[in-house]
Amino acid sequence: MRKSLFVLLTGVLTSCGSVNYFQIETYNPSEVTFPKTVNEILVVNHSVPQPANAGYRSQVLGDEEKVVHAEADSALYDACRSLGEAMMRSSFFSDVLIYNDTLRTDSLYYSDQKMTEEETRRVCEQTGADAVVALDRLIFRMDRDVVPFSGSYFMGKVNVQMRGVFRAYLPDRNQPLATVLVEDSVQFIESAESLRILNDYLPEPEEALRVSARYLGTKVSENFVPHWTQEDRWYYTSMSARWKEASAYASKGDWESAGQRWFSLYEKAKPGVRQAKLASNLALAAEMRGEFVKALEWATKSREAFVKALGEEADESKLLLLYEKALGERVNANRKLNAQFGEE
């Protein structure tokens, strides 16, 4: 069943002059669109862990440590597991499975190798999955630095950089359905009054890799399943009774009633800033009702009115231009969501 595409009011409204700001959550499509017949996904680790001494550096008080080891095999599994768990939480697919066996037996960790059609078909037949999402390569670089800090304190920083390749595969297709290239980093910063205590605070090399990999797996899931993101919104207010009434309805999430009152005010307003503000409010009311095309039309009217009254360089004009673009993206996103949920 398709989840509601309507935005959810998540923040407490705060007032700034004649504008009320708040946050919403918008439902966005995944980058990758699977065929409608795909109900079960199998997440596969198709990568090779890099050597324990490759890509790691540690420097303490200016002195380079000669031997730094970090095993990456568990981190690769953690990336796959967190990816699968995040995809499962989205409830988009009926089931998401984790493949526990190792597919690659070579040692070419730097080599980006695709799964073959035969491999994809075999693991799908073994598990009953309809498609595969595979981690085909993940390379880590970890830098650990300890330096003097304020007074007698020391500060330690561990920076983990990651570059990965994820792909979606179908068992009846000889080429990947999609390829996702990711590059990200996670940083750990601690301070302590002694090096011994600081070492206790900072994560061990393997733990730093595993935490970073779990973060990456969760983040990359948005490429494969629809997801929620936070965005900022606002509406204009005034001291008149009719404006206050509309604002009261908006604060309670009754966008139909708020929109009716804003429209009544809009029809009576003279062309200018006041009408531009009301058009912006009407765009918001339409968006909150899930009427994205109508919202875009009102946002365009608002921007044009602001430009005519204040000029293109006015903050209000620039803000409405951004809102207009955001609504255009929502219109396109809604079409893609309909396709992904089979509601074209």
Domain match, 135 and 251 both: no
Domain match, 236 and 217 both: no
Question: Pairing mode, if any, of strands 14-16 and 19-28?
Answer: antiparallel
Would the pLDDT of 28 be above 50? Answer: yes
E-strand ranges in 10-153 read 14-16, 19-28, 40-45, 56-60, 63-64, 95-99, 131-148
Please write the tens of the pLDDT for every residue from 293-337: 999 999 999 999 999 999 999 999 999 999 999 999 999 999 999
DSSP 166: E
- Decide if 3 is inside a domain: no
Q: What is the pLDDT of residue 149?
A: 87
Of 282, 285, 329, nearest to 302 (Cα)?
Answer: 282
Domain match, 237 and 95 both: no
Least confident of 65-79, 209-223, 252-266: 65-79
Please write the tens of the pLDDT for every residue from 206-246: 999 999 999 999 999 999 999 999 999 999 999 999 999 99
Pick the last residue of a domain from 225, 244, 269: 225
Pick the last residue of a domain from 225, 253, 273: 225
Domain match, 136 and 277 both: no
Pick the last residue of a domain from 163, 195, 225: 225
Please write the tens of the pLDDT for every residue from 154-174: 999 999 999 999 999 999 999
Q: Which domain holds residue 270?
A: 8-29+230-340
Q: Would you mind telling me the total number of residues written for the chain in this entry?
A: 344
Alpha-carbon span 3 to 27, nearest angstrom: 9
Domain match, 326 and 188 both: no
- Decide if 237 is inside a domain: yes
Domain match, 46 and 61 both: yes
Please write the tens of the pLDDT for every residue from 112-143: 999 999 999 999 999 999 999 999 999 999 99
What does the longest C-alpha to C-alpha distance in the chain come to? 77
Domain match, 196 and 47 both: yes
Q: Structure tokens of 303?
A: 């921007």
E-strand ranges in the chain read 8-9, 14-16, 19-28, 40-45, 56-60, 63-64, 95-99, 131-148, 154-169, 178-192, 227-236
Domain match, 219 and 260 both: no
pLDDT band, residue 69 (cuts 50/70/90): confident
Of 38, 34, 7, nearest to 23 (Cα)?
Answer: 7
- Decide if 35 is inside a domain: no
* CATH code (residue 265): 1.25.40.10
* CATH code (residue 169): 3.40.50
DSSP 100: -
pLDDT over 90 for what percent of the chain? 87
- Decide if 94 is inside a domain: yes
Of 196, 198, 126, nearest to 156 (Cα)?
Answer: 198
pTM, to two decimals: 0.85
Alpha-carbon span 65 to 146, nearest angstrom: 11
Would the pLDDT of 7 be above 70? Answer: no
- Rg from Cα positions in the chain: 26
Q: What is the mean pLDDT of residues 236-262?
A: 96
- Decide if 2 is inside a domain: no
pLDDT band, residue 63 (cuts 50/70/90): confident
Domain match, 257 and 328 both: yes
pLDDT band, residue 16 (cuts 50/70/90): very low
Alpha-carbon span 189 to 341, nearest angstrom: 42
Alpha-carbon span 329 to 29, nearest angstrom: 11
Of 93, 179, 170, nearest to 131 (Cα)?
Answer: 170
- Decide if 148 is inside a domain: yes
Q: Which residue has the tokens 């890799």?
A: 209
User: Which H or E run contains 129?
Assistant: none
- Tally the C-alpha atoms within 13 A of residue 132's C-alpha that lie toward its C-beta: 31
Q: What is the pLDDT of residue 102?
A: 85
Alpha helical stretches, state H, 8-54? none
Would the pLDDT of 17 be above 70? Answer: no
Domain count, the chain: 2
53 neighbors 112 (Cβ within 8 angstroms): no
Q: What is the pLDDT of residue 13?
A: 42
201 neighbors 192 (Cβ within 8 angstroms): yes
Q: What is the pLDDT of residue 221?
A: 98
Domain match, 235 and 217 both: no
Residue type, 228: W
- Decide if 34 is inside a domain: no
Domain match, 129 and 213 both: yes
Domain match, 47 and 150 both: yes
- Decide if 102 is inside a domain: yes
39 neighbors 93 (Cβ within 8 angstroms): yes
Of 265, 292, 289, nearest to 279 (Cα)?
Answer: 265
